[in-house]
Each structure stands twice: as C-alpha cells, then as structure tokens.
Structure 1
Amino acid sequence: MKNRIVCYFSAAQSEQPLIYRLVRNYDLIVNIIKADINPQKEGYLVMEVEGSREQYDQGVEFLKNLGIMVEPLSETVIWEPETCIQCGACASFCPTEALAIDRATMEVSFENSRCVVCEMCLDCCPTRAIKLYFEIKEAAS
C-alpha cells in the first residue's frame, strides 16, 4: 500500500529520528514531499509512505504513540484550464512535471497523479488558474 500523509509535530518530537525508524523498524519506503519547521522546531512533514498494510499501520501507530498528529494528505492542486492563458510559467517551476507544456502545441496540461502539492506553481501563475483544494478526511489509521 502507498499513502500520502501529513505529520504535525512539536519541538520535542522534531528531535526524533522518525524517518530512520520508519525505514528500519517497519521496513517502509518513505518519500519526503515537503517539510516546514519553524524556529521553535515545530512543524509538519508531508510524505508518501509505502509498504505492506501491516507495516504501514504499525508505522503510523508508532508515530501516533510519539504524540505526532497523523492525517492523510488532504489538499490537492486544481488547475483551471478556462482561466489559464497558456504562458507556461507554472511548468517551469513544477518539479514533477505534473504541470507540463507540450512543445509542439505550446499548451499547458496538468496530470494530478504526478502532483506532490509542493505549491511552487501557485505564486507564479499570473491568472491564478492554479489553486489549492482542501478535502476533509478522517485521520489515517
């Protein structure tokens, strides 16, 4: 199973070797998508976690037992083609090529399955054709 989760943590929890333990103790594949830690060492970590269902559940339980709040990634990027002026600025900033420009037609396209919600495209779009959409989901178990 593969799932994208967000972990919210305190300063004390940020000192823990979380990724190391998820990989070593639970044999999970962890891909860090985004992290933000403030000067007080509190913050969040967005990651994609892959492994067997049992390993995944045990790894998430480990994080929760440390007091880390774990939720499924609940935001997605929405591209509004009717608002897009096809300038291609977003494609130059997109690290996963979810937003791409076809050189033959010079048209921008968006493939949501490639998007990791890094938000780099949001500020560069002059028409604001790219937005964040928030879903309400139950916490991962």
Structure 2
Amino acid sequence: MSPKRVVLRFMAETADKPIIYQLIRNYDLVVNILKANINPHKEGMMVLEIQGEPEQYTRGLEYLRSLGVTIQPLSQDVHRNETVCTHCGACISVCPSGALYLERPDMTVNFDEDKCVVCLMCVKACPYKAMEVRF
C-alpha cells in the first residue's frame, strides 16, 4: 500500500467536477494533492500521491478514465548533482515542499527526494545547474 504518484489531465468538461472527493469517498483512497492547476471550463492538470488497497486503487483509476481523465505515472524526478552544487542556497527559497533545506551548523543544502513534488522551481533557480530532471 505504498503511495503512487500520478499526473491527471482533465478536459474542460470535467475540471469543475468533485472527482477527487469521489476517489476518497467511493474508493476509500488516501489522496495527497502535490500540485494542481485547475480552472473551471478549462483543461487542468494535477499531480497526486494516491494510497489504498490495490483493488480500490485500480477501481478508482478506472473511474477517472471513465470521466475522460488522462492518467500518467509520474515519470520524472529531480536529482541534485553533488559535484556541481556549491551549496549557495538559491534553491531553498523557491522550494514549496521543503525538500531542499539548509543543514546547520555546517550550512550545507540537503535534498529530501521523498518530499519533492517535481515542481521544477529549483531547476530554474539554480545558477550552477546542479538540480537536474531525470525521466
């Protein structure tokens, strides 16, 4: 029952429906919204971490597909290149999940990949290109 990360893409017709509520209520799934861009009457995208019994998980994904929601496994990860990182801290201030943090007293930047929501803000902020995307 370890959580699985997926990317959902919604059509404009389903973006304003309570489908996440239905996943929780009808399929007994634990849902953690990691990132979302949903607007009524427009296409939307959401990154979820979903956890539950395998049968319920499968049924929940079938429900989403029946509504026309496209489901993809989260197939990219952010990785820090230790040989390039200078521990400048530029990435820390833009990280919304706290995956990048400053270790005191040695003042080094640490990266907790399990907390990363793959927003890619650190990739944009790093002046040394130490933060990399892997597919």
Taking structure 2 as the reference length, what is the TM-score of the superposition? Answer: 0.90
For 2:87, the equivalent position in structure 1 comes to: 86
Give the deviation of 1:107 after TM superposition: 1.1
Contact preservation (8 Å) 2:65, 2:71 = yes
Cα distance in 1, alignment partners of residues 39 and 76 from structure 2: 21
Query: Structure 2 regions of 5+ residues with no counterpart?
Result: none
Give the deviation of 1:79 after TM superposition: 0.7
**Deviation sequence 1:22-60 (CA, Å, 0-9, x none):** 011111111111112478611211001111111111111
Query: Structure 1 regions of 5+ residues with no counterpart?
Result: 135-141
1:46-61 alignment to 2 at 5 Å? 46-61=47-62
Cα distance in 1, alignment partners of residues 32 and 39 from structure 2: 21
Question: How many percent of aligned residue pairs carry the same amino acid?
Answer: 48
Cα distance in 1, alignment partners of residues 113 and 30 from structure 2: 22
For 1:66, the equivalent position in structure 2 comes to: 67
Contact preservation (8 Å) 2:8, 2:46 = yes
Cα distance in 2, alignment partners of residues 112 and 14 from structure 1: 29
Cα distance in 2, alignment partners of residues 38 and 87 from structure 1: 36
RMSD of the TM alignment (CA)? 1.7
For 1:42, the equivalent position in structure 2 comes to: 43
For 1:128, the equivalent position in structure 2 comes to: 129
**Greater Cα shift, 97-106 or 20-29:** 97-106
Contact preservation (8 Å) 2:78, 2:132 = yes
Aligned residue for 1:12, secondary structure, equals: coil
Q: Residue 50 and residue 39 in structure 1: after superposition, are their counterparts in 2 closer, same or farther (change >3 A)? A: closer
Aligned residue for 2:5, secondary structure, equals: strand
Give the deviation of 1:90 after TM superposition: 1.1
1:27-38 alignment to 2 at 5 Å? 27-37=28-38
> Between Structure 1 and Structure 2, how many residues are aligned?
134
For 1:119, the equivalent position in structure 2 comes to: 120
Give the deviation of 1:5 after TM superposition: 0.6
Cα distance in 1, alignment partners of residues 39 and 79 from structure 2: 27
**Greater Cα shift, 72-81 or 116-125:** 116-125
**Deviation sequence 1:78-134 (CA, Å, 0-9, x none):** 111111111112123223332222111111122212212122212221112112222
Taking structure 1 as the reference length, what is the TM-score of the superposition? Answer: 0.86
For 1:97, the equivalent position in structure 2 comes to: 98
